[in-house]
Amino acid sequence: MSSTSASFVQIKFDDLQFFENCGGGSFGSVYRARWISQDKEVAVKKLLKIEKEAEILSVLSHKNIIQFYGAVIEPPNYGIVTEYASAGSLFDYINSNKSEEMDMDHIMTWATDIAKGMHYLHMEAPVKVIHRDLKSRNVVIAADGVLKICDFGASRFHSHTTHMSLVGTFPWMAPEVIQSLPVSETCDTYSYGVVLWEMLTREVPFKGLEGLQVAWLVVEKNERLTIPSSCPRSFAELMHQCWDADSKKRPSFKQIISILESMSNDSNLPDQCNSFLHNKAEWRCEIEATLERLKKLERDLSFKEQELKERERRLKMWEQKLTEQSNTPLLPSFDICAWTEEDVFFWMQQLTRKGDTSGEMSVYASLFKEHHITGKQLLLLEEEDLKDMGIVSRGHIIHLKTAIEKLTHDYLNLFHFPPLIKDSAGAAEESIEKVVNLELVFGYHLKPGTGPK
């Protein structure tokens, strides 16, 4: 248990009455619940163990940050208890019919809410916090309409590290995050620009494209979301600034708040913005055209991307061969970070079925499902985590750890091939065509005859 456990309220598991599942955050499922002794409606994020998220939330206090009530630390029932936002996530609102009611005042208010919450995390909190997974799903709407930033499972205290592991969601991730390079708080600025784009367009970013395709387009091709030509200039400029490839050139949230205040004083902007919002049918085709172009670009892959697909095909053949000849389980998909609890359950069933002649390990597939283990969590499991889940057999722990380590190794090999680094020289060499010139010479050859003709 962390040494910070005494810094927050410890809530008994039996003091919570659980209702429906209302979403999934980083590394855990979220449920609506009732805190019985306080007669309070709350949200409970079930976790495999209490880690940094409770430590981070326990020191935060801001109206645009989800309010932290305490944590459940009774093994194996770990969880974080926060206020319940009855209006759901910003993502769900944007993609519902309710979003048709949005006008400039609505967008400006919510854009400011998010910016103030992020400014607090970066500059005013007891310690600087980089969220690392800011997106519309991680912004919730309170009953009074105020936006609150939540889900700090991927966050880091800035003083601990500036190096990114592979967390976050590709359409919202800055290029340096995708490449696992050292980052600053402006990686959150990039994500903020995507959320602002969502509110203005009421569209899903990079809809229809797979995560790795988005990563390749953003890093290798420097692609960004399409800003319709009729979008008010001040909004367009702000989004462009947020998405600058040079993280040092992106505005801080203090600067963003100042920009939003200046925009609020522009008497012409409301009419421009509301006209833009109400004429979506006219400019939506621009976004769709870009998506089609990007999909075509993905279909017309360069040699590197073709090689990646060929590698994936070979990996599948290799995996199938091993499955037939050994105890290697099939994978639900190669994007392990996107695995759901059901995918992990499927993988565990095969793992225990093929590697367990005694049948003793067959219970672990259900055990992993009971603890809501997703693919992202699976890759992070340590020996202590397995023990916390109730696995006591040393042999079984070694067997599971070996399988998970192999899975992690295969995933990292696949993800980092080919490297997402621009190599114009290499690309030029690859594009050289070999040409063979053939010269055909035609001539007349006369043989003198014996007669006059």
> Mind telling me the catalytic residues?
133
Question: In terms of Cα–Cα distance, which of 181, 211, 175, 208 is closest to 193?
Answer: 175
Between CA 168 and CA 408 the distance in angstroms is 17
Between CA 333 and CA 319 the distance in angstroms is 12
Question: In terms of Cα–Cα distance, which of 53, 45, 26, 304 is closest to 156?
Answer: 53
Between CA 160 and CA 157 the distance in angstroms is 6
CA 367 to chain centre: 26
Between CA 63 and CA 81 the distance in angstroms is 17
SS (H, E, C) the chain: CCHHHHHCCECCHHHEEEEEEEEEECCEEEEEEEEHHHCEEEEEEEECCCCHHHHHHCCCCCCCECCEEEEEEECCEEEEEEECCCCCEHHHHHCCHHHHHCCHHHHHHHHHHHHHHHHHHHHHCCCCEECCCCCHHHEEECCCCCEEECCCCCCEECCCCCECCCCCCHHHCCHHHHCCCECCCHHHHHHHHHHHHHHHHCCCCCCCCCHHHHHHHHHHCCCCCCCCCCCCHHHHHHHHHHCCCCHHHCCCHHHHHHHHHHHHCCCCHHHHHHHHHHCHHHHHHHHHHHHHHHHHHHHCCCHHHHHHHHHHHHHHHHHHHHHHHCCCCCCCCCCHHHCCHHHHHHHHHHHHHHHCCCCHHHHHHHHHHHCCCCHHHHCCCCHHHHHHCCCCCHHHHHHHHHHHHHHHHHHHHHHCCCCCCCCHHHHHHHCCCCCCCCCCCCCCCCCCCCCCC
CA distance to 199, 205, 208, 221, 295, per residue, from 292 (Å): 22, 13, 10, 15, 5
375, 344 in Cβ contact below 8 A? yes
